[in-house]
Structure 1
Amino acid sequence: MPRPKADFDDLRPLAFREPDEVLDADRMYTIYEVARLLQGVETDAELDVETENVLLDWAIPWMLKYADEFVFAEPENDAEPGHYGLATEE
């Protein structure tokens, strides 16, 4: 249910960090790892499903916003996620 803005004490602008501020140029990450890094969580942290879903809710639009700055590697098999990294000139 929508709430009035007056219900909130702290309203801030939505700001996205640049991909090179979050990811290492020489690494490839799963969407789950990207989601964790965006929130300052270790990539191997154990998270419950609900928390993981919230992190993904933030990561997916961020990756879409910066899609031109990413490369993608196919998963090794159907049970694995793909990997994403920064697009760099080689």
Structure 2
Amino acid sequence: MPRQKSSFNRLRPFEFREPADVLDPDAMYTVYEIARLLQGLEPDTELDIETEGILLDWAIPWLVTNADELCFGDPESDDEPGHYGLLDTE
């Protein structure tokens, strides 16, 4: 349900962190791991399903916004997620 802006104590600009500030250039991550990293958590932090869903709401737009700086590794099987990492710019 929408809320009135006046109901918030503080409004701030919506900003995404740069991929190089979040991801190790030599590693590939699942979207679930990236969701944790964007919140300052370790990639293997255990989360309840509701919290993980909320974090994915932040991670997916971040991936789309930064797609030109990222690469994708195919999953090993159909029931596993793919992995994302920094695109080599060399």
Q: Say yes or no: TM over 0.5.
A: yes
State the TM-score, normalized to the length of structure 1.
Answer: 0.95
The residue aligned with 1:51 is 51
2:58 is aligned with 1:63? no
Q: Secondary structure at the match of 1:11?
A: coil
Shift of 1:14: 0.6
1:41 is matched with 41
How many equivalent residue pairs? 90
Q: Does 1:84 align with 2:84?
A: yes
Identity, % of aligned positions? 64
The two structures, once aligned, show a CA RMSD in angstroms of 0.9
Please tell me whether residue 26 in structure 1 is matched to residue 39 in structure 2.
Answer: no
Deviation for aligned residue 1:89: 3.0
CA distance in 2, matches of 1:84, 1:59: 12
TM, length-normalised to structure 2 = 0.95
Equivalent position amino acid for 2:36 in 1: R
